[in-house]
Homo-oligomer: A and B are copies of this chain.
Amino acid sequence: MWELLDVPIVQAPLSGGPSTPALAAAVSEAGALGFLATGYKTAQDVEADIAAVREQTQRPFGVNVFARPATTTAEPYEDFVAGLAAEADRSGVALGEPRFSDDDYDAKLDVLSRTAPAVASFTFGCPTAWEIAALKGVGSNVWVTVTTPAEAIAARDAGADALVVQGAEAGGHRGAFIDTHEREDIGLLALIALVQAQVDLPLVAAGGIMTGAGIAAVVAAGAKAAALGTAFMRCPEAGTSEPHRKALQTGHRTDLTRAFTGRAARGIVNRWQAEHSPQAPIAYPQIHYVTAPVRAHARQHGDADSINLWAGQAHALGRERPAAELIDELMTEARAARDQLNGGAW
């Protein structure tokens, strides 16, 4: 698997808009591993996206799927939804209905097994051993996103080929198998060390990496590759919305919030996030569906204060570049960082 990558860079999947076949293909063409996100898409659209990537590149790429939730229980969310009425009034768009969905998990597994991407990766949980074996059987390398050593052990025991270790710095949703109030958000370097002490699997390091020095650092720490998400969001090939692109140029602070989806995720703190985070319940994807229509409207109208501005902690270091140029720059920096490490007298 790893010898297929010319450079130790993986594009994080970026569900919810930024992921496009053009971005995945450009990243893979540049010698890194591009990814398609399938979250919130239909299985049919996912199959079309995979075909679109294959029209643009012969190189390997990955497809990421939201794992079937380990629990369907949610905290009470009626009061929180009632508190969002002013948001609906403000935008003139009705809130959505809270509902549960497994994001068409079975249908997406079918697509994966038919299309056999080089990598099938999962977040929000771990597929069953049977599912992992089936995907391996069609030739895919199966990766599971983990945020704690306990999740890493579970993923290994289920048969994962590799683990995406997601540090607390990462933008977007925490990949935790279950979102709880006792969830520990472990910084990337600490997490790599903790997971390595428990599990002997290849690791892909994700969370706040925006520079070649960061890539070299996680490879020195023991990862096979670095996964960069926010770093690719300002590429012209990405589907990032205009207000989101603008927010990524502000350098504003990020925080974890459940105010948009009912699941902890890191975003740039805007008005919505500041106002609604304290009350937001653990209720995913119910709250996602409640807020989705208002967010879609705000996105179209350039209102950055009413949308989820997912971003990693170092988003201020983002660059507006075609993906291939960005990867070239990052690798020049990574080689310089390697030279610097070699310059030590020890």
CA distance A89 to B227 in the complex (A): 52
Give the residue among A207, A208, A220 with the most B Cβ atoms within 10 A: A220
A22 nearest CB across to chain B (Å): 24
Is A79 on the interface with B (CB-CB < 8 A)?
no
Q: Contacting A338 at CB < 8 Å: which of B191, B211, B220, B334?
A: B220
Interface 1/0s, chain A 294-334, versus B by CB < 8 A? 00000000000000000011101100000000000001001
Asked if residues A194 and B344 are in contact (CB atoms below 8 Å), the reply is no
Contact across chains for A220 and B210 when beta carbons are under 8 A apart: no
Query: Nearest chain-B residue to A185 (Cβ)?
Result: B168
Partner of A213, one of B168, B216, B220: B220
A214 nearest CB across to chain B (Å): 5
Distance in Å: Cβ of A257 to nearest Cβ of chain B: 13
* Chain B residues whose CB sits within 8 angstroms of the CB of A184 once the complex forms: 253-255, 313
| Interchain nearest-CB distance for A35 vs B (Å) | 20
A340 contacts across to B, CB distance below 8 A: 219-220, 222
Bound complex: CA of A168 vs CA of B191, how far in Å? Answer: 12
CA distance A193 to B331 in the complex (A): 15
Q: Is the CB of B253 within 8 A of A182?
A: yes
Contact A213 B187, CB 8 Å, known A337-B221, A341-B220: no
Indicate which residue in B7, B193, B196, B217 contacts A189 across the interface (CB closer than 8 Å): B217
User: Do A337 and B182 touch (CB < 8 A)?
Assistant: no
The answer to whether A344 touches B208 (Cβ under 8 A) is no
For A335, list chain B residues within 8 Å (CB): 346
Q: How far is the CA of A317 from the CA of B194 in the complex (A)?
A: 7
In-complex Cβ contact of A217 among B182, B186, B217, B253 (8 A)? B217
A172 in contact (CB, < 8 A): no
Task: Specify the chain B residue showing the minimal Cβ separation from A252.
Answer: B184
Least CB distance, A231 to chain B, in whole angstroms: 11
B337 touches A222 (CB 8 A): yes
Q: Which residues of B contact A345 (CB under 8 A)?
A: 3, 6
Q: Which residues of B contact A6 (CB under 8 A)?
A: 345-346
Q: Which 6 A-B pairs have the closest CB atoms?
A: A190-B208, A169-B187, A187-B187, A217-B221, A190-B314, A190-B313
List 26 A–B pairs whose Cβ atoms lie within 8 Å, in order of A's numbering: A167-B187, A184-B254, A184-B255, A187-B207, A188-B188, A189-B189, A189-B208, A189-B214, A190-B207, A190-B313, A190-B314, A191-B313, A192-B213, A193-B208, A193-B314, A194-B317, A214-B221, A217-B217, A217-B220, A219-B340, A219-B344, A220-B340, A220-B341, A221-B337, A222-B337, A342-B342
- Which A residues form the contact surface with B (CB < 8 A)? 3, 6-8, 149, 167-169, 182, 184, 186-194, 196-197, 207-211, 213-214, 216-222, 253-255, 312-314, 316-317, 331, 334-335, 337-338, 340-342, 344-346
